[in-house]
Structure 1
Amino acid sequence: MIDDPSAALTASIHATASRRSFLAGALSAVALAPPALARAPAAENLDRFLADQRRSGGMAGLAVGLARSGKVLLSRTCGHADIAMRRPVTADSMFHLASVTKTITATGIMMLAEEGRLDIDAPINRYLDFAVVSPATPGQDITARHLLMHMSGISDATYYAVDFRTHGDDSPLALGDFLRGYLVPGGTHYSATGSYSGAPPGRAYDYSNVGYGLLGYIGTRVAGVDFRTYLQRRLFSPLGIDHLSWTLADVPAGLRVTPYEIDAQRLVPVAPVGFPDWPAGMLRASISGLMPFVAASANRGRTGSHRMLAEPSMDEMLHMQKPPGLSAWLTGQGLGWMESEGEGAPRINHWGGDPGVFTAVYLDPATTTGIAILTNGSATASSKAAIKAIARKLFTLGNALS
């Protein structure tokens, strides 16, 4: 979704508008590694580098994390979670992850598959209480694999034409009601050409937020409990993850991060948004909360003594393919994760964006390095350049600290 991935991210944010003055701020650092690593010259230089990138990128605040071999080596934060309140970003500040959420939704689906409760190559209608059928290809079954790879034939065209956001609050529209209204004939927002692309499932790439919303609904149906409850029990708690929330209401006031957009070279606060397709992009998490997941994802599913996914499942998620119609800024698509050109070589990653929000996670399985970058500023040319520069710096630092 992104000009390398970035052009499409900008287009998506502007299309949703719609949805989804550089001020110096306080600088703080939290070392999650042994003191020897924290004092390494490269790590000491990181604080100054991040402060410079935050200012040049026009971001109010940011938090970054670095993991290697399943261990979180360090995290760093700088700038403000809220400028007016002069509240600095901390390791526990909860940023809106936006579409980075999809990597967690995909991981939960693979967990259900590992448990033998979900076949990702079976028709999804086997697991649903309403039928999802493309009117252009009624004889073609959609599978969870198709949804995971954005190849289901479910289109976001109507999704971008209709503003499903709730500004400053959570969406009152339940996920199941949203999906029925969008995907089932006679639904409030159903359109034969706007809800479905017309391409047969598995034949064409078409990035779909609605498709990931459907994955979360399938997860609930298969798990027998709300998919968020399942993820808490099966994914987050075993990794020791806290400081995360699927709703705006559940984010503690002291940990909230205000989104900011740039207007005439000034950072202007905007209301956070809620939307009904929470599996596609509603998770809020801190850098301290997100990094154990990133560490395990980069380390073939293991962090410390805990295994998040079996190696074959993790390898399958990160196996990159080039489906027909793959966006030009991508070099591959896996199950949830995607790939785009980095510094002379493709990098597995996922970016996320909404108004006042820009996030990125990178994985390098060859070196077991995982990186997360969370910001409360919109995606712009300047912030994209800063994100890429920070990623390069962190990969270099990971090599130095290993």
Structure 2
Amino acid sequence: MRRFAFVLVLLSAAYLTPVSARADDLDRRVAEQMHTNAARYGIAGQAVLVRHNGQRLVHAVAGDADIAAHRPVTAQTVFNVYSLAKLLTSTLVMQRVESGDIALDAPASRYLPGLPVRWQAITVRQFLDHASGVPEYFQSRDGVVSTAQGPGLPPTLPAVWAMLDGQPLQFAPGSANRYTQTNYLVLTALLEAQYQQPYARIVEQRILRPLGLQHTWLGPPPSARRDRALGYIGRAGVLQREDDVAWPSYAHGHAALHTTLADLDRFVQAMSRGELVSRSALYGLWQPQALADGRTGGFASGWEYEESGAYREVGHDGGTRVRVRIAFKDGLDGDRYSFIYLTNGSAKNVWSRTLVDSTMALVAPRAFPRQTLTERLITHALQAGGDRDSAALQQWLRTDTGIAASDLEREINRAGYAIRENLGNAAGLEVFQLNTELFPRSANTWDSLAETCAAMGDQRNAARYLARARQLASPAAD
């Protein structure tokens, strides 16, 4: 088993050292949570920063930037943050919307000639919110990127458009969300057409230089930098080295952003304070998109959108490795948290959402009941049978989660699937069994339990539980 080194200062007798000079109870508890996350998921290295109303609550690093060399993560470590690059692109588009130079609901082709014929009526908003229906422009398998034309990526953006020109849309624009990198190729090109400059120069002039982000790069950092976190991936539960994709410059609007925790924090705070887009404009832009059938989409001007308790949450992930989240209540001038959780990979390829949720549950459990519920259920699922206090957990679930009783069964079920994905079927089974005990008359709880048993090869119980689900779903059920 790999030994994890942690850094949070004043706790150096164990494995942890605080980055800040003063260690308090929150430092200690976050350090313990990072240690727990590393043990659960096999995380190589981590960096976490949390703020409340602009005040820094936690700044902690842990583990290794380079496992083979035993080089630890530090406050200066440069991480590949992958698709967090899209937040720069969406911010630049929002600036043009605020200035009146771009209309969100106008066709992107109004501003960008040369798009494939089937894309001509797709709006800027639909590209931003992954509601365009355009196909993905590449595939990735075992770290090898290819297209229908073979290994590697097309040399130029016009070559990408030509390659995609005859392909059908995946769905009618505006009818669904499906995350594709192609959307942000369009937006990157749109910005270049607006400014008549290369994308990298636009980012430099409008974000990096104004904010003083001196340790942030589109594409790989300079070769002289030795403080870069190497990337790792889990294969069959084992942590293995993974090289970064050599993205062409036309892809830098959706990938290959490298930055430090401090620089990323500066960007997040600038967004929250209205330095890049005014708060009044931002509040309108950070509203969830409505799909054609009336459902609420999962994006707001390119930022992932959801709600927890009284808070609205916007942010983005970088695959399984990194995530940024801003939670605000009563507008951006009201109560506000920001969470940044960076890793360079894990053996279980844990969802970055799960890591951020664990921090939110620790820092403000009453403010974020959904995240607190998930973390409690993960702990329950991983405890040995004799160590579980199921009665106490059920009492808490029935009386003290802060989640409406009408939503509780659905939220437990949602957490169960997340736990299955991150920790395996056996852990998920514990949660689904618990849900049937709490909601024995729900067909959905028994159906989820049956599905998990089937995935584990327990066909006998799968059939039994499925029969129970069908009985309860029948109109004749009493």
Tell me which structure has the larger Cα radius of gyration. 2
Deviation at 1:275?
2.6
Contact 2:177 2:298 in 1 (8 A): no
* 2:167 equivalent to 1:192: yes
Provide, for residues 332-378 of structure 1, a one-character-per-residue CA deviation record: whole Å limited to 9, x for no partner. 3211111246579764332221xxx5111111121211111111115
The TM-score with structure 2 as length reference comes to 0.64
Provide, for residues 97-140 of structure 1, a one-character-per-residue CA deviation record: whole Å limited to 9, x for no partner. 12222122101111123333333333222322423331xxx7x6
Alignment of 1:221-300 (within 5 A): 221-248=193-220, 250=222, 252-276=224-248, 277-297=251-271, 299=272
Alignment of 1:145-164 (within 5 A): 145-156=125-136, 158-160=137-139, 164=145
The whole-number CA distance in structure 1 between the counterparts of 2:195 and 2:19 is 34
Contact 1:67 1:294 in 2 (8 A): no
* Unaligned 5+ runs, structure 1: 1-20
Provide, for residues 215-262 of structure 1, a one-character-per-residue CA deviation record: whole Å limited to 9, x for no partner. 111111112222222222212222222211111253643121111122
Deviation at 1:264?
4.9
Deviation at 1:55?
2.6
Name the structure 1 match of 2:321: 358
* 2:279 equivalent to 1:311: yes
Name the structure 2 match of 1:90: 74
Contact 1:322 1:333 in 2 (8 A): no
Name the structure 2 match of 1:105: 89
Alignment of 1:180-219 (within 5 A): 180-183=158-161, 187-193=162-168, 196-199=169-172, 201-219=173-191
The whole-number CA distance in structure 1 between the counterparts of 2:222 and 2:166 is 34
Name the structure 2 match of 1:388: 357
The whole-number CA distance in structure 2 between the counterparts of 1:154 and 1:115 is 27
Contact 2:185 2:253 in 1 (8 A): yes
- Match of 2:211, SS state, is coil
Provide, for residues 60-117 of structure 1, a one-character-per-residue CA deviation record: whole Å limited to 9, x for no partner. 0011111233454442111011011111111221212122221221011111233333
Provide, for residues 254-279 of structure 1, a one-character-per-residue CA deviation record: whole Å limited to 9, x for no partner. 12111112245432211111334221
Name the structure 2 match of 1:24: 4
Alignment of 1:312-331 (within 5 A): 312-324=280-292
The whole-number CA distance in structure 2 between the counterparts of 1:161 and 1:85 is 28
Letter in 2 for 1:273: V
The whole-number CA distance in structure 1 between the counterparts of 2:18 and 2:262 is 10
The whole-number CA distance in structure 2 between the counterparts of 1:251 and 1:390 is 33
Name the structure 1 match of 2:442: none
Name the count of aligned residue pairs: 347
Letter in 2 for 1:285: T
Alignment of 1:43-192 (within 5 A): 43-134=27-118, 141-156=121-136, 158-160=137-139, 164=145, 177-178=156-157, 180-183=158-161, 187-192=162-167
Match of 1:335 among 292, 298, 301: 301
Q: Which has the higher contact order (CA 8 A, sep 6+)?
A: 1
Letter in 2 for 1:374: L
* Unaligned 5+ runs, structure 2: 10-16, 330-334, 369-478
* CA RMSD after TM alignment: 3.3
Q: More helix by proportion, 1 or 2?
A: 2
- Match of 1:253, SS state, is coil
The whole-number CA distance in structure 2 between the counterparts of 1:398 and 1:252 is 43
Provide, for residues 281-322 of structure 1, a one-character-per-residue CA deviation record: whole Å limited to 9, x for no partner. 22111111100122233x3x43xxxx2211132113321234
Provide, for residues 187-224 of structure 1, a one-character-per-residue CA deviation record: whole Å limited to 9, x for no partner. 2454422xx3251x333322221011211111111122
Letter in 2 for 1:197: Q
The whole-number CA distance in structure 1 between the counterparts of 2:278 and 2:307 is 27
The whole-number CA distance in structure 1 between the counterparts of 2:212 and 2:221 is 22
- Structure 1 residues 224 and 341: CA distance shift in structure 2, 3 A: same
The whole-number CA distance in structure 1 between the counterparts of 2:244 and 2:146 is 10
- Match of 2:214, SS state, is coil
Contact 1:65 1:291 in 2 (8 A): yes
The whole-number CA distance in structure 2 between the counterparts of 1:128 and 1:358 is 33
The TM-score with structure 1 as length reference comes to 0.75
The whole-number CA distance in structure 2 between the counterparts of 1:325 and 1:103 is 27
The whole-number CA distance in structure 1 between the counterparts of 2:260 and 2:184 is 22
- Match of 1:369, SS state, is strand
The whole-number CA distance in structure 1 between the counterparts of 2:307 and 2:164 is 37
